[in-house]
Amino acid sequence: MALNLEWLRTFKAIYELGTLTQAAETLFISQPGVSLHLNSLEAFTGYKLFDRSARRMVPTERGKILYNFVLEPINKLETAEQMFSRSSRSERSTISVGMCFETFQYTLEEHISRLPFNLIIKFGDYPEMQHDLDKGVLDMIVTPKTGDQKNLEYLPFSKERIVLVGGPELDVKPFQALIKKKDVKGAIAWLKEQLWYSTAADMEHLKRFWQINFQCQLEFKPNFIVPNISSIVRCLGSGNGLAVVPDFLCREEMKAGKVKLVWEGYHPIENTLYFGTRKKTIYAKEIAQIRDIFLHRMQ
């Protein structure tokens, strides 16, 4: 028996929506058809994928594993289906742009509904995005790192400074007095006593800031690991912790007094931000519009 991709599409819908009825409505097939797809997939895998209750389909551990395996491939197939399906509407161009999640939230998110073209945003690490740009998977990236690919060009447009910030209630006078006296050991001891925030995926900012300013390795783990830098900024606004973040991602909160700048470091760390594109592209007009949004937002 061969694996049918429609079984996986149905499985994904059940997993995300929780009921056979909702899955059937979303997929425009009958509920018995949904049940048949699920039963066939369970027979194929040899495992029970859901525990059935009166109100909700609860995924088993095997179901969770399967979902994590198939989610990205199914999403890509659905994206391809949307991009290449025929439409009676006038065709809109589609461009793909890579950047970090926080940059997207800060600059582009509020504008995308008004763009006159389709936009696919991809989040990932910078080497992966550079590779995808070079191979034509992405049309543009926003990055603090350049590469040596002959097919690509990088246009600098702004700078970010990596800074130590804290919650509005945090008393930082003792720390700033130690820094002023250049009592590095005392400053480190004070910092270690505080509550720290970082992200699940990336502690690079904190490690680099620590290494450059104190000439030693980071010797503690943050107290709170949250999904992204935007979450860190919001958490700091209601507490008294510390974090190391790019300044432009909390500039408005600092102006509003929700977060305060604690220290820029003995040796301030600045990164140049670049627009990365291929030297030859058919989407120059669309890319120019994205650039304009960034330039206006980052002023």
Locate tokens 């048949």: which residue?
Answer: 36
Instruction: Kindly state the tokens that stand for 16.
Output: 């995300």
Q: How confident is the model at residue 182 (pLDDT cuts 50, 70, 90)?
A: very high
Work out the mean pLDDT of the chain and round it to a whole number.
89
53 versus 277: the higher-pLDDT residue is 277
Q: How confident is the model at residue 202 (pLDDT cuts 50, 70, 90)?
A: low
Per cent of the chain over pLDDT 90 is: 60
Q: What is the pLDDT of residue 293?
A: 95
With a threshold of 0.75, does the pTM exceed it?
no
Inform me whether the pLDDT recorded for 47 exceeds 70: yes
Inform me whether the pLDDT recorded for 90 exceeds 60: no
CATH 3.30.450.70 at 5-84, yes or no:
no
Q: What is the pLDDT of residue 239?
A: 80
Q: What is the pLDDT of residue 88?
A: 42
All CATH 3.40.190.10 domain ranges of the chain, comma separated, are: 94-157+272-297
Beta bridge partners of 143: 274
For range 125-135, the mean pLDDT: 90
Q: How confident is the model at residue 124 (pLDDT cuts 50, 70, 90)?
A: confident
Query: What is the C-alpha to C-alpha distance for residues 38 and 250, in angstroms, rounded to an integer?
Result: 47
Q: How confident is the model at residue 1 (pLDDT cuts 50, 70, 90)?
A: low
Which helix (H) or strand (E) segment is 42 a member of?
Answer: helix 31-45
Inform me whether the pLDDT recorded for 21 exceeds 90: no
- Topology of domain 94-157+272-297, CATH: D-Maltodextrin-Binding Protein; domain 2 (3.40.190)
Beta bridge partners of 159: 272
CATH, range 160-270: 3.40.190.290
All CATH 3.40.190.290 domain ranges of the chain, comma separated, are: 160-270
∠ CA 11-13-16, nearest 5°, is: 110
For range 164-184, the mean pLDDT: 95
The 10 Å Cβ neighbour count of residue 81 is: 9
* pLDDT per position as a tens digit, 231-244: 899 999 988 899 99
